[in-house]
Structures are given as C-alpha cells and as structure tokens.
Structure 1
Amino acid sequence: MHRAFPLTSYDTAALLLFAALWAFYGAAVGGHVFRRSSLNVAMNRQRRIWIETMARRELRMIDTSIMSGLQTGTGFFASTSLFALGGCFALIGQTQQVLSVLSEIPFIHAPERGVFEFKIIGLCCLFAYSFFKFAWSYRLFNYCSILFGAVPPAMEAEHDRRAFEAAINRAARINILAGKHFNAGLRGIFFSIGYLGWFISPLIFALSSLLVVVVLLRRQFFSEARRTILSDQAGPGSGESIRPESQ
C-alpha cells in the first residue's frame, strides 16, 4: 500500500532547497539581491540602445534581420521544450522498465514506482514552464516586430517628438519583456539539469542544484561576457536595472 505522500524527509528537504534556489536566482538576476548589475540587466540596456539606434536609421532591414534571428532562436527552444515534455510523458509509460534498469546500476537505489512517477511529473512541470515562457516570448517578439514598423521615420520626429519617443519606448519595453520571458524559459531548462540529480539521490539533487546556480550566477555576475558588455559603460549604464512589469 502506497503512502499518501511518497517522499522521504530527505527528498522533501532537497525539493525545498531546489525551490529556494530557483527563487533566489530569479531575484538575483532581476536585481533584487545584489547591487552589482547582472548580465541580463546590462543586456536590457543594450536592447534599449538598439531600439533608439534603429529609430534613427532610415533603412531598418538589419533590425528586422536581428528580430528574425531572435524569433528563430526562441522558436527552437519552444519546440525543444515541447519534445522534452513529450519524452517525459513517454517515460511515465515505461516506468517499470526504467526502474529495472536503475536497479542494476551501482550506487543508485531504485525508488518506489510512485516516487519515480512523482519525480517525472516534476520534470514535466519544468519543461511545461519553459515551453510557455518561450512561446510567450516568441509572441512578444512578434509584437515587437509590429512596434518596429510603428516607429515613424526619424525625419518626422520633429513634427511630434512625444509620439516618436513613445513609439521607441513601447518597442524597447516589449523587446526587453520578450527577453525576460526567454531568459525565464532558459532558467527552467538549466534547472532541469540539476533536477536530474534527484533520480540518483536527494543529496545528489541538492548538490547538482547548487552547482547549476553557482555556474549561472558566475555567468551573470563574473563572466567575461558581462565585463565586455559593461566595459565601455559609465555611471547609470553600469548599474541601471530595467525591469518592465511582468505579464
């Protein structure tokens, strides 16, 4: 007879640590934990600079090409998340075979069927979260393309400066918001790597989750990419946090 709640206290503690690390990383990257600006924050500023530069160009084919590339990459990750989600559901149907394989691997204790299926469902939730984030990001990039077209030519800016700047601001904010949801989808993909440790043991789950967060924080706050992006920025450019409201 299965227990109503199949997880052990170690499993529960590791799962709570995973959730805490997820929340901590999201807050840190969003600029709510450290005063040091993250790579995402620095790129948000570059997105705004790009839109402002685009508005001054007479020919904007290069900007539409960039937008097309962003949409293509987002669509790829959305499809990948959907395939991974389908694979997880297929794995649930092969639970007994997978448990038989796990029982033959040294140093791995095969869990009960209910526990294993619970873990698979959690992995499904991660990939579903990523899919919805990528899909919404793709839609926002579509909206941003339309807003690009709505930005009037620079030569008409003098006639209605307020409308010109408002059009730039709309396009920039939607572009930043699309990037925010894309990064949230990537977070789900990255954290799913740490989540896989749970299929070995709660301790490995905790350690793999910590490792993933350490790697991601290093890339966000101490990577060469961040130093390069901020190398020529001064004053507000090196620490300004641009965080549009979330949908």
Structure 2
Amino acid sequence: MSPLPEPPPFPATMPTSFSHLISILPWQDWAALALFFFGWVGYAQFASHRAKVESTLLASTNHYRRLWMVQVTHRDQRIVDAAVTQNLASSPSFWASTTILVLGGLLAVLGTNERASELVKDLPFAARTSMLVFDVKIIVLLAVFVYAFFRFTWSMRVYSFGAILVGAAPNVDVFDSGEADRKAFAERAGKLMGAAAESFADGLRAYYLSFAVIGWFVSPAVFAIGTLAVLWILYRREFRSDVLAILRPDAS
C-alpha cells in the first residue's frame, strides 16, 4: 500500500494576495470607508443603548404604541386598529419596492462601468479613479441598499405579525373577567409593533447614509465629511428634534 501523499504546502502567495487586496484602494479611501462602517455600527449601538435611558423618537413612539395596544383591549370592534396597522405596513412596503429599483439601477451601472466611470470623471471635482475602484464604490452602495431592503421587508413581516396579534386579541369581557391579562397583552403587542418600527428606522438610516457614500465619488474627504454630517443629522433628529419634544410622554 503506497503512502498517502503529503499535503501541499501553505501557499506563500497569500500575503502577496492580501497586500494586493489592500492596495486596491489608497489609504485615504480605506480610512473613509472604515469611518463609514464603524460610524454606522457605532451610532446604531449608541442609539439603541441611549434609548433605554433617554427619550428618543423610537422610545417615545413606543410609549404610544403600548397605549394603543391597551386601547385595543377595551374595544371589541378593531377595524380601526387593523386599518392603522395596514397603513403602517404600507410605508416599509413602498420603500422596499423603491429599493428594488435602486438595486436594479446600481447593477446596471455595474454592468456598464466603463461608460459610468467616464461620466463620473466628467463631473466637477470628481476623483479620477480606475474602473476597479469605481466598481468597489458601487458594490459598497449595493451593500447599503441590500441591507435597507432586508430591514424594510422584515418590518413588513413584523407588522403582519402585529396584525395577527391584534386580530387574535380576546374580547373585552374576557379581559375584564381576568381570563386574559390586559397588561401582558398590551406589553407584548406594543413591543412587536416597536420592533417593526425599529426595523423600518434601520432601513431609513441606511438611505441617509447612502448619500455619504455618493460623496465618495468626489473624494475620500467628502465621503468622510458626509458620513459625519449624516450621523449628526440622525442624532439631531432622533435625540434633539422639535418633534421629539412634542412626543415625549412628559411633555407639557
């Protein structure tokens, strides 16, 4: 019986391949891209954490969602509640359909990268880059909108779950008799509606940040400044807006 062949040695070209991957973009582009992704993820984590200790748009509206679900338990005719749920689900449905069109357009641009790259080069102040770098920028935009699509479609599904929960709510006399826990139902249904709203907000946040990526076609500096500007706008709207001052439960 012949001995088993020795496994091939670890390829020595891997470091070269990795360095080639790094060399696709200049360090300024890598820095701007890192700022974009870390800023996006970091802001999402920050907003989620601060919502537990400070009023945000999502936290304030979640308060009213729970009140809404409490009102559901006090009425037998829930046609209005079903209509409101359907209306809420129509927004992520619209944005998901729009995102499909955007993705199709970006894929078309990716298929005709030569002409698109020449068009971008003709724009004032646009950075002169290779077609490979141009493709990388389009792929990053594609990734942003794919994420937005998944968040919008998940929001649609969660709203449909909420509609099922509202439809399955016991009658008023069942709650009044204590056979069903009114507070527990309102809390669960309110959290479900809040989860749908949070997913929808994530998709909108991706749309906001896509404008920062568009600045990348001008220069990495514009990309970085655009990222910081969008994050500042998101912060102002979610934590310091006039609408939030009105929606706060403790607002006079």
TM-score by length of 2: 0.86
Equivalent residue for 2:143? 125
User: Contact (CA 8 Å) 2:51, 2:59: kept in 1 or not?
Assistant: no
Count of residue correspondences:
233
CA drift of 1:33 comes to 8.2
Report the secondary structure of 1:168's partner residue.
helix
Of 80, 98, 104, the match for 2:98: 80
Larger radius of gyration: 2
Alignment CA distance shift 1:204-1:33 (3 Å):
farther
Quick one: distance in 2 between partners of 1:106 and 1:94?
A: 21
User: Contact (CA 8 Å) 1:150, 1:167: kept in 2 or not?
Assistant: no
Quick one: distance in 2 between partners of 1:103 and 1:130?
A: 28
CA drift of 1:196 comes to 0.8
CA drift of 1:37 comes to 2.0
Alignment CA distance shift 1:48-1:206 (3 Å):
same
- Superposed, 1:58-207 pairs within 5 Å as 58-207=76-225
Establish whether residue 217 from structure 1 lines up as the match of residue 250 from structure 2: no
Residue type of the partner of 1:173? K
Unmatched 5+ stretches in structure 2: 1-19
Report the secondary structure of 2:103's partner residue.
helix
TM-score by length of 1: 0.88
Deviation sequence 1:111-159 (CA, Å, 0-9, x none): 1111110111111111000101111110110111010011112221133
CA drift of 1:109 comes to 2.1
Establish whether residue 229 from structure 1 lines up as the match of residue 247 from structure 2: yes
Establish whether residue 17 from structure 1 lines up as the match of residue 17 from structure 2: no
User: Contact (CA 8 Å) 1:152, 1:164: kept in 2 or not?
Assistant: no
Residue type of the partner of 1:50? W
CA drift of 1:170 comes to 2.7
Residue type of the partner of 2:21? A
Quick one: distance in 2 between partners of 1:130 and 1:141?
A: 17
Report the secondary structure of 2:32's partner residue.
helix
Equivalent residue for 2:56? 38
Equivalent residue for 2:21? 4
Quick one: distance in 2 between partners of 1:191 and 1:216?
A: 9
Equivalent residue for 1:51? 69
Percent identical pairs in the alignment equals 32
Quick one: distance in 1 between partners of 2:211 and 2:21?
A: 28
RMSD: 2.0
Quick one: distance in 1 between partners of 2:21 and 2:32?
A: 19
Residue type of the partner of 1:181? S
User: Contact (CA 8 Å) 1:108, 1:201: kept in 2 or not?
Assistant: yes
Report the secondary structure of 2:87's partner residue.
helix
Residue type of the partner of 1:104? D
User: Contact (CA 8 Å) 1:151, 1:168: kept in 2 or not?
Assistant: no
Residue type of the partner of 1:99? S
Report the secondary structure of 1:157's partner residue.
helix
CA drift of 1:219 comes to 0.7
User: Contact (CA 8 Å) 2:62, 2:191: kept in 1 or not?
Assistant: no
Quick one: distance in 1 between partners of 2:166 and 2:244?
A: 27
CA drift of 1:162 comes to 4.5
Deviation sequence 1:3-44 (CA, Å, 0-9, x none): 433111000100111112102221232134894321111111
User: Contact (CA 8 Å) 1:30, 1:41: kept in 2 or not?
Assistant: no
